[in-house]
């Protein structure tokens, strides 16, 4: 949804006193375009506007406009997955935070929180988002985004009651402005919270709500996510045929929309389920498909994780003990470095089970301690 200037007051009062040179008269309107393109994930279009803003920036006398551009640019870098550059820009801007007004501080902390979330530093993200909350501004779409992000971070930290409170606030804001896509995402997040609380009925209700609304706005991506979630719910309730059906729908939608990462993640889930049901041949077929996709996937940082998960299942099914053990150890080390505690815990529990079967009880206990420590870190905040 586009935002008009009244919802995003980018024009400083200094504009009226002609403190911007004639060369940079267009800077405020370009800044609005830059913001909107980023919000709508039109990153190539945003980059074109960014080039123009970089050219004009030196001639802008209103420092608040310049800071605002630099903060929005951080969000662009985050969405481009240029996390190192985003971190450097935030560190530079942080030296100026004391000079920022309330609005600039709000945007600064909102985008710093976004970076920490993408880096899986959820406990730190919550603290920074709470700083943004202290500087909240009357821009309803940004306020909604803040509370959605707080809800998502709290969900990852398993602070589920807080997460539900936050997502309810985000939902009310999005409903007020009629942003149907974000309302769907709120339904999905609520469904995720209730699933983690083992309230499967409520979780199913919100995922179905999301599908119904997503169909109205023709958003296949959100429909695919909801079907994946319903598959997980069905599996938890031992409704395995229904789970496989939902996973298949999710895979078809991901394939149709060229969402490679989502497709492979769902392939991993259905391969695990097929193995659990004793359908090893079928599980191996899915693993082969997933590995083939990973081999040609451009984002190698993502494909490496997916390949590790697929290989772990493959080695386990084929009783390749050394490869299975080494892959899990490597995964634990990698996930630990990136603070992906839920994945550390899951891999460590699998490794402990492996050592128990090998009757290597000291290593089994060691791995369980790693799993326990990771679980403790999940709820740290």
Nearest-angstrom CA–CA distance, 69 and 51:
12
> pTM value?
0.82
Q: Which of 55, 150, 64, 151 is nearest to 105 (CA)?
A: 64
DSSP designation for 217: T
Residue 184 has pLDDT above 60, yes or no: yes
Q: What is the pLDDT of residues 37-85, one digit of tens each?
A: 998 889 999 999 999 999 998 888 899 999 999 999 999 999 998 999 9
Q: What is the pLDDT of residues 212-268, one digit of tens each?
A: 999 999 999 999 999 999 999 999 999 999 999 999 999 999 988 888 888 999 999
Contact status, residue 8 vs residue 32, Cβ threshold 8 Å: yes
* Residue extents of the structural domains in the chain: 261-316, 320-381
Extract the tokens encoding 258: 């060229």
DSSP string over 157-187? TT-HHHHHHHHHHHHHHHHHHT-HHHHHHHH
Residue 158 has pLDDT above 70, yes or no: yes
Work out the pLDDT band at 23, boundaries 50, 70, 90: very low
Contact status, residue 358 vs residue 328, Cβ threshold 8 Å: no
* pLDDT at 17 (0 to 100): 33
Residue 21 has pLDDT above 70, yes or no: no
Work out the pLDDT band at 301, boundaries 50, 70, 90: low
How far, CA to CA in Å, does 176 sit from each of 120, 148, 173, 206?
30, 15, 5, 19
């Amino acid at each position: 949804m586009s935002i008009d200037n009244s919802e995003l007051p980018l024009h400083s009062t200094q504009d009226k006193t002609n403190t911007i040179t004639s060369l940079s008269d267009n800077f405020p309107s370009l800044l609005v375009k830059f913001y909107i393109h980023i919000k709508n994930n039109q990153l190539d279009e945003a980059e074109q506007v960014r080039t123009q803003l970089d050219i004009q920036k030196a001639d802008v006398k209103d420092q608040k406009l310049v800071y605002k551009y630099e903060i929005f640019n951080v969000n662009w870098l985050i969405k481009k997955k240029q996390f190192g550059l985003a971190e450097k820009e935030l560190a530079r801007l942080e030296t100026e935070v004391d000079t920022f007004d309330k609005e600039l501080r709000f945007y600064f902390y909102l985008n710093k929180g976004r970076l920490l979330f993408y880096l899986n530093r959820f406990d730190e993200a919550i603290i920074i988002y709470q700083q943004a909350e202290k500087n909240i501004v009357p821009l309803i779409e940004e306020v909604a985004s803040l509370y959605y992000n707080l809800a998502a971070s709290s969900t990852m930290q398993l602070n589920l009651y807080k997460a539900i409170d936050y997502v309810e606030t985000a939902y009310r804001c999005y409903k007020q402005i009629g942003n149907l896509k974000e309302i769907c995402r709120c339904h999905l997040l609520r469904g995720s919270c209730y699933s983690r609380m083992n309230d499967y009925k409520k979780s199913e209700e919100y995922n179905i709500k999301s599908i119904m609304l997503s169909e109205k706005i023709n958003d296949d991506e959100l429909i695919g996510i909801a079907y994946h979630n319903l598959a997980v719910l069905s599996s938890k309730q031992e409704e395995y045929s229904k789970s496989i059906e939902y996973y298949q729908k999710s895979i078809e939608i991901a394939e149709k929309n060229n969402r490679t990462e989502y497709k492979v993640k769902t392939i991993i889930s259905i391969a695990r389920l097929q193995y659990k049901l004793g359908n090893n041949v079928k599980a191996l077929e899915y693993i082969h498909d997933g590995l083939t996709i990973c081999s040609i996937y451009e984002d190698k940082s993502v494909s490496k994780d997916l390949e590790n998960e697929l290989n772990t299942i493959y080695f386990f099914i084929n009783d390749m003990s050394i490869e299975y053990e080494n892959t899990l150890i490597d995964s634990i080390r990698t996930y630990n470095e990136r603070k992906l505690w839920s994945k550390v815990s899951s891999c460590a529990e699998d490794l402990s089970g492996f050592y128990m079967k090998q009757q290597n009880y000291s290593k089994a206990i060691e791995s369980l301690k790693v799993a326990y420590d990771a679980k403790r870190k999940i709820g740290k905040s």
